[in-house]
Structure 1
């Protein structure tokens, strides 16, 4: 049996100021082509289909078109809701969608409603665990207020159902933060008050756990167990902390004993991300040589000039039109702002307070001329206070 695992589409999301809907549509077209080419038995989508609980209209249309395309091609989809999704909105029409091979698992009552697939070795039960907010589901699951507890209760129901059905091979989709995973800046933290991490051991005995939430593709180790847990990662990068990641979907094959093959298939959609650092004039001089390829990339630039150049973003976009982020980190060691705050008292010279603020914003101390102007302004304000102005 061959399955394709993906997650964290975040339809409707932008990268900084750049909308990603076209790249998302490109990915979804490619995903269906890959599923047909590899003759997969189902595609598993492990949550965060949308980026927001109330997604933009264009994102809803894209998902509707995607569901229709998969149904028309006869490729089953199994989808769970993530923490970015509204379970009610994503699950709307699930009864009708089921008849077309689109299986939406967004509620607790669907925990024991597997999609049963068959191959020459017998049946495989594909179960879905939507994102579980402990406060919302702990009573119904008779669990404690933690992700580990509610996921264990959900997995226990699945194991019991699989045993009753005589299913020796089980696949579970789950949108959760499993301990041991490495995150990225673009993920919304679901760890609140230390209750967010879930132990991988709650999935012991499951053949394959298709995880969603973390945007970097990675395996989660469960020592002493044959269970395979994997995050497919997001198909597109949604922050520059992911600029070095190879985005992929996971293709897995099951034999009679369990997981036989796990393959990461790189995603060809979207622009690459690059980060460059240096002084503005030096970077612009390299735009026609070793940095020429950045013209087709989304770019984050970190300028190290000792003072802020004039119109840096306009000049950068003239050579790299897809520059999205501009940060300033001047050469040299910047004082610790906490140390600066500790120096402030009610009797601190106001000019020194203003100088520290300038240094905090510009990341370099003010020049002598700037200090002179600050002193003149402070003295003018003090004279105004004394005069009652």
Structure 2
């Protein structure tokens, strides 16, 4: 059986105030063509289909069009909910969807698989939506559910019990933060990494392929446990991460042979650095004209209206950061101490400049100008 594993579409997300719907529409259309060209039997979307629990109407349109196009290829589609989208909103119309499209959002049915069959027998697909422990106590009364690890562990116990009764090959779809971290025996604490609950990799042992969502970059935690990442770039921090999906061939014995399929990148993301004047005029930045740009300008002092000036050259400049090239060395003194120890008005102004410039005080020219102004001349007179 051939499977395409994708996740984290985040339909409706903005990029520095710009809509990502046109780019995502282009990329998802390319994904549909990959499904058709590779004769995929099953498409898995592992959570965070929408970016919020209340997406605008055009987001539903894009999702409906994409799911319909995927179904038109002849592939079955299994979708789960993540922590961004609302399980209730994503799943409310699941009973009305056309044959072959399955939206799995109910924790109470994690042990009820979607079963597909190929020449080698059944493949059972178990969908685990994002599990919020505090909301599961009515679903699984009597269970200890303090962390997401607790919730995933219980879901996997239910899945293994069902799989043992059914037999056959298995796929688990889960939206969580998974890592090869084992809990310390006897120590009652939440296992976390970066503030997120970590689900130990061992919880997924015995499953033929585990399709994960939640992390925006592709990752292989084990040969058959992988994150596909998001299909488009949603931040400059993701600029160096490839965009695509995993193509999985599941053999008769359940062995997963996995290859990567790249997706197109509608607009590159670049970070450029230099003085504001260099960024606005230097020829070596011409390659960034049609890219999403994050500009770091290195002038010693903040410049006026840098975003507008940069967008005159780079229409898709989305972020500007003031990053002085040679920030002065801090001497460990607080601003209050600098003020208290200033002996003249000139030193007081210099202390202020050193504070706001990361340690760099007044230049020689500024010192002369400050002195003339303090002596009673106007700025115009001092500059004349």
Would you say same fold, with TM above 0.5? Answer: yes
By how many angstroms is 1:257 displaced?
2.5
Q: Does 1:205 align with 2:206?
A: yes
- Per the TM alignment, residue 192 of structure 1 is displaced from its structure 2 partner at its CA by 9.2
**CA deviation after TM superposition for structure 1 residue 100, in Å:** 2.1
User: 1:128-139 alignment to 2 at 5 Å?
Assistant: 128-138=127-137
Q: Residues 298, 39 of structure 1: CA spacing in aligned structure 2 closer, same or farther, 3 A cutoff?
A: same
Change (3 A) 1:79 1:358: farther
Q: Deviations over 1:117-173 (max 9, x none)?
A: 112221111110000011212563313311211101101111111111112x11111
Q: Does 1:367 align with 2:366?
A: no
Larger-Rg structure: 2
Structure 1, 195-204 or 235-244: larger mean CA deviation: 195-204
Matched with 1:273 is: 269
Alignment partner, residue 241 of structure 1: 237
- Measured in 1, the distance between the counterparts of 2:23 and 2:88 equals 26
* Shift, 1:362, TM fit: 4.8
**Structure 1 residue 298, shift from structure 2 partner:** 0.4
Shift of 1:312: 2.6
Could you say what secondary structure the match of 2:250 adopts? strand
Q: CA deviation at 1:193?
A: 9.6
CA distance in 1, matches of 2:354, 2:262: 44
- How much has 1:69 moved relative to structure 2? 2.4
Q: TM-score by structure 1 length?
A: 0.82
> Could you list the runs of 5+ residues in structure 2 that have no partner in the other structure?
182-190, 375-384
1-structure distance, mates of 2:315, 2:51: 26
SS at match of 1:296: coil
Moved more, 310-319 or 263-272: 310-319
> Structure 1 pair 192/216, CA: closer, same or farther in 2 (3 Å)?
closer
The alpha-carbon deviation at position 70 of structure 1 amounts to: 2.6
Could you say which residue in structure 2 is the equivalent of 1:187? none
* Distance apart, 1:66 and its partner CA: 1.8
| C-alpha contact 1:329 1:363 (8 A) present in aligned 2 | no
- 1:169-318 aligned at under 5 Å gives the runs 169-179=169-179, 196-221=197-222, 228-287=224-283, 290-318=284-312
Q: Distance in 2 between matches of 1:272 and 1:302?
A: 17
Aligned partners of 2:291 and 2:85: how far apart in 1? 29
| Mapped contact 1:307–1:364 kept (Cα < 8 A) | no
Which residues of structure 1 form unaligned runs of 5+?
182-189, 222-226, 377-389
Within a 5 Å distance, the mapping from 1:151-170 to structure 2 comes to 151-167=152-168, 169-170=169-170
Cα distance in 2 between the residues matched to 1:180 and 1:292:
44
1:329 Cα deviation from its structure 2 partner: 0.9
SS at match of 1:152: helix
Q: CA deviation at 1:340?
A: 5.7
Please give the root-mean-square deviation of Cα atoms over the aligned residues, in Å.
3.0
Counterpart Cα distance in 2 of 1:34 and 1:73: 10
Q: Go from structure 1 to structure 2 and tell me whether the alpha carbon gap of 1:219 and 1:62 turns closer, same or farther (over 3 Å shift).
A: same
Deviation digits for residues 209-267 of structure 1 (CA, Å, limit 9, x no counterpart): 1000000101113xxxxx71100000011111111111111111010222342111111
CA offset digits 1:59-81 (Å, max 9, x no partner):
12211222232334432210000
**Cα-to-partner distance string for 1:165-223 (whole Å, 9 max, x where unaligned):** 112x1111100011259xxxxxxxx96995611111111111111000000101113xx
2:328, 2:360 within 8 Å by CA — same for their partners in 1?
no
> CA 1:195–1:277 in 2, change beyond 3 Å: closer, same or farther?
closer
Q: Report the Cα distance in structure 2 between the residues aligned to 1:8 and 1:219, rounded to whole angstroms.
A: 16
What TM-score, normalized by structure 2, do the two folds share? Answer: 0.83
Corresponding residue number in structure 2 for 1:146 = 147
3-state DSSP of counterpart to 1:315: helix
Corresponding pairs, count: 356
Comparing 148-157 with 309-318, greater Cα deviation is found at 309-318
